[in-house]
Amino acid sequence: MKKLLLGNEAVARGAWEAGVNVVSSYPGTPSTEITENIAKYDEVFCEWAPNEKVATEVAIGAAVAGARSMCCMKHVGVNVAADPLFTVAYTGVNGGFVLVVADDPGMHSSQNEQDSRFYALSAHVPMLEPSDAQECLDFTKKAFEISENFDTPVILRLTTRVAHARSLAELSERIAYEKKPYKKDTMKYVMMPGMAKKRHVFVDERTVKLKEFSEDASGGLNVVEYNDKKLGIITSGISYQYTKEVFPEASVLKLGMVYPLPDKLIQEFAQNVDELLVIEELEPFIENHVRQMGIKVEGKKYFTNQGELNTTIIRKAYKGEKLESATAAEAVETPARPPVLCPGCPHRGVFYVLSNMKVRVSGDIGCYTLGAMKPYEAVDTCVCMGASVSMAHGMDKADAQFGEKMPTVAVIGDSTFMHSGITGLIDIVYNKGTSTVIILDNSITGMTGHQQNPTTGRTIKMEEAPAVNLVKLAEAVGVKRVRVEDPFDMKKFKAAVKEEIEAQEPSVIIAQRPCALLKNVKYGAPVKIDTEKCKKCGACMKLGCPAIYNDNGVYKIDESICLGCKLCEQMCAFGAIGKEE
């Protein structure tokens, strides 16, 4: 029976059908739902790891022990996992090991749009790229087979539009996977120079064998669809789907395996068509390879390497055509609708205070990156997971070198602090820094849609688990000034930030209040503005709460979205805001 599955659900189903035993991941859009769906299968051990490096190592350990294992992450997560990835490419596996990466062209929810295919190339690890849910399911199963048959990790690469699109997929039953016997093998698993030199030879020989495998179209990964031979298009993943829409008449070489590439298949296809085009998102990965083979080909001459492709872009760039659209009878100015901090968000108080204090804020990755937006414009930097802490230290040390001191704080969420903030904090203490780190502890991983983490006291399967005590952790690494504050008590919070910035030693403020979207968070009735008391000063608007608005000069609260958190009460000097008793 066919079922409508999200690409990510289909990867989870494929792994389950392949008999996967151990899955360890760190959440990240657009990969999160893979692991969330695997967690629903009782037969699989599944966990959220503190970061992608740990997740990858857990999966490697499980594979070496003889199980089938998997880890899932977004594209930037592979940067964190790159260390184990490049060496597991040498050791190979015992049970099958698949690393799933979801790239985010167009940066729907990311800080860059790096192209993960280069990881496959530089680590010499085979990479498969599905183009719909059925292939997500099938290729995941195939990836486990390739992993075991060739003694290699396999990367399965998705992009947002494959990960987050639903299409029909045929389901089958789970295989009974038999654990491979564990055998101690230092030449294979202990990567000291003497052994690693030998394994590098193995890696290169393996790549040759994988290339031969990729030439065989019967494997179902690389498929040639001959049609009109005037135009031949080489493509893969979601770009294949766009190609079929815009060029239904063209011949297509669809690559399901993007590393290593099938040279003979490409050569033959090129010879059989008059004009050869590569349609791929992001970097000219396939195009450059084909050109290096000495084949005349075009691609990025027409199609940008920035953002996503779509049928409009492809049609316009190559054919110079545009579909006819409905048009408005007259032009209407449509204001943008950027994402905002939710009503009742515990971060709102923090960013109002920081903006008000005009301190430099070293930011991080999470919902709270929105503190960079109007009306707060509080956040100065955002680079990668954990960078807030170490960058604040770098800023403070740079200033000190010139005899200056700009008031600076780092802000980082609880899950991000577990991911890679703690190492930066150790650096601050160890190297006699004086930085102030504010941990925004909202008791959940917020932006990716409420995943548990080591501080929440629950596992991915909602079993009780020991919760990391952030106060004790900070103290244990040597921070003497650790305090817990409520970000909704803005006066007290501001005083705390001022005191800690002035202190000539490292400090940690834990801003503790749960995410407003958590089910157990209830503030009661919505707040109202008493129009008789209101002096129309507009101070309440500075909080940037979507529930407070200006209705032709009258300030009002939208009761349908107000959570009743009462933060705005503190903004009103005239006592006009409050709840009806």
Partner 1 sequence: MKNLDCLNVLIVGVGGQGTLLASKFLGAAAALSGKDVKVSEVHGMSQRGGSVITCVKIGEKIASPIIDEGEADMILAFEQLEAIRWLPYLKKGGTIITNIQKINPMPVVSGAAKYPENIIDVLKKSDIELVTLDALGLAAECGSTKAVNVVLLGVLASRLSEVPASIWEESLKSVVPAKMYDINEKAFQKGVHSYEC
Q: Which span (113-121, 219-227, 540-548, 563-571) binds partner 1, by CB under 8 A?
A: 540-548
Assess 329 for contact with partner 1 (CB under 8 A). yes
- Max distance between CA atoms of the chain, in angstroms, equals 82
Q: What gap in Å lies between CA 165 and CA 177, rounded to an integer?
A: 29
Contact, 107 vs 100, CB < 8 A? no
CB of 538 to partner 1, least distance (A): 8
Q: Which is nearer to partner 1, 33 or 485 (CB)?
A: 33
Among 332, 402, 519, 580, binds partner 1 (CB under 8 A): 332
Among 330, 464, 580, 581, binds partner 1 (CB under 8 A): 330
- Is residue 239 classed as helix, strand or coil in its secondary structure? helix
Total interface residues for partner 1 by CB under 8 A: 60
Q: Which is nearer to partner 1, 268 or 559 (CB)?
A: 559
Binding characters for partner 1, 496-535, by CB under 8 A (x = yes): ----------------------------------------
CB of 7 to partner 1, least distance (A): 9
Q: Which span (196-204, 250-258, 366-374, 462-470) binds partner 1, by CB under 8 A?
A: 366-374
Q: How many residues does the chain have?
A: 581
Assess 30 for contact with partner 1 (CB under 8 A). yes
Name which of 568, 576, 565, 482 is nearest 534 in CA terms: 576
Assess 370 for contact with partner 1 (CB under 8 A). yes
Q: What gap in Å lies between CA 325 and CA 183, rounded to an integer?
A: 64
Among 40, 549, 554, 575, binds partner 1 (CB under 8 A): 549
Binding characters for partner 1, 413-452, by CB under 8 A (x = yes): ----------------------------------xxx---
Among 186, 218, 292, 325, binds partner 1 (CB under 8 A): 325
Assess 336 for contact with partner 1 (CB under 8 A). yes
Angle value at C-alpha 17, between 14 and 19, nearest 5 degrees: 115
Q: What gap in Å lies between CA 76 and CA 335, rounded to an integer?
A: 32
Assess 400 for contact with partner 1 (CB under 8 A). no
Buried-exposed string 299-337: b where 16+ CB fall within 10 A, e elsewhere? beeebebeebbbeebbbeebeeeeeeeeeeeeeeeeeee
> Which residue do the tokens 């654990």 mark?
179
- Residue 461, CB half-sphere, CA atoms under 13 Å: how many? 13
Q: Which is nearer to partner 1, 201 or 323 (CB)?
A: 323
Structure-block tokens of residue 21: 């035993």
CA separation, residue 213 to residues 26, 90, 139, 206 (Å): 32, 19, 15, 10
**Beta strand segments in 425-535, E:** 436-441, 481-485, 507-512, 528-529
CB of 63 to partner 1, least distance (A): 29
Binding site for partner 1 (CB under 8 A): 2-4, 6, 29-30, 32-33, 108-109, 132, 161, 164-168, 238, 241-242, 244-245, 310-312, 322-330, 332-342, 367, 370, 373-375, 447-449, 541, 544, 546, 548-550, 560
